[in-house]
């Protein structure tokens, strides 16, 4: 940057407030886009988490909720034709959730229709996009609890 001298370093509380506001607004944009396609935000979030095939148990981990909860969510995705359960080779206890072509289609449409989010991106210049992306990449492992990357 180095644009001006006006820049004072924000406190943690200020950063937290700003991050929370942006996160909440992003989430509402996402939920609204999902609702337009008849999906709850939980269902849409689950759909986004199974772009690669994922066992039920691991999906629960990704969504941060109990495994029994995932059963119901995947039930509904399956009845909507957006995902399927497949048997895992090698362990017949495991069921793997696989997104269908229609599911991927809907997911892409939802992401494309997040109008406010896209507007927000357009309000950034290249330097800001690079900075934001790099900060997210740097911070994510810490925030998600994968401190090293080793494990």
Partner DNA sequence: GTCAAAGCTTGAGATACTGAAGCACCTGGC
Partner DNA sequence: GCCAGGTGCTTCAGTATCTCAAGCTTTGAC
β-strands 54-55, 83-87: how paired? unpaired
Confirm if 104 and 111 have CB atoms less than 8 A apart.
Answer: no
Residue 5 interacts with a copy of itself (CB under 8 A): yes or no: no
Smallest gap from Cβ 143 to a copy of itself, in A, equals: 4
Q: Candidates 26, 53, 69, 78: give the one binding a copy of itself (CB under 8 A).
A: 26
User: Site residues for DNA, window 65-84 (CB under 7 A)?
Assistant: 65-76
The verdict on 90 binding a copy of itself (CB under 8 A) reads no
Does residue 82 come out as left (phi exceeding 0), alpha (psi in the -120 to 50 range) or beta? alpha
Candidate list 26, 48, 62, 63; residue touching DNA; CB under 7 A = 63
For tokens 């199974």, name the residue.
50
What are the distances in angstroms from CA 24 to CA 5, 83, 88? 30, 27, 36
Please count the CA atoms within 13 angstroms of the CA of 47 that sit on its side-chain side.
Answer: 30
Q: How far apart are CA 23 and CA 52, in angstroms?
A: 24
Does 1 sit near a copy of itself (CB under 8 A)?
yes
The minimum distance between CB 9 and DNA, in angstroms, equals 34
Residue 131 within binding range of a copy of itself, rule CB under 8 A: yes
Q: Which residues pair with 85 in a beta bridge?
A: 97
Least Å distance between CB 1 and DNA?
A: 37
Judged by the rule CB under 8 A, the positions of this chain that interact with a copy of itself are: 1-2, 7-10, 12-16, 18-31, 45, 48, 64, 111, 114, 116-121, 123-124, 126-140, 142-145
Binding interface with DNA (CB under 7 A): 40, 42-43, 55-58, 63-76, 85, 88, 90-96
């Amino acid at each position: 940057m180095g644009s001006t001298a006006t820049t004072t370093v924000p406190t943690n509380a200020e950063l937290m407030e700003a991050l929370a506001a942006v996160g909440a607004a992003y989430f509402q944009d996402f939920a609204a886009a999902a609702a337009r396609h008849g999906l709850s935000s939980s269902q849409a979030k689950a759909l986004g988490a199974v772009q690669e095939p994922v066992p039920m148990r691991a999906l629960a981990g990704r969504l941060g909720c109990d495994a029994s909860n995932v059963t119901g969510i995947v039930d509904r995705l399956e009845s909507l034709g957006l995902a399927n359960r497949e048997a895992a080779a090698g362990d017949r206890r495991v069921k793997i959730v696989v997104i269908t072509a229609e599911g991927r289609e809907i997911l892409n449409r939802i992401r494309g229709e997040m109008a406010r989010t896209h507007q927000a991106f357009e309000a950034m210049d290249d330097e800001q996009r690079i900075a934001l992306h790099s900060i997210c990449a740097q911070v994510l492992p810490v925030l998600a609890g994968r401190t090293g990357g080793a494990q």
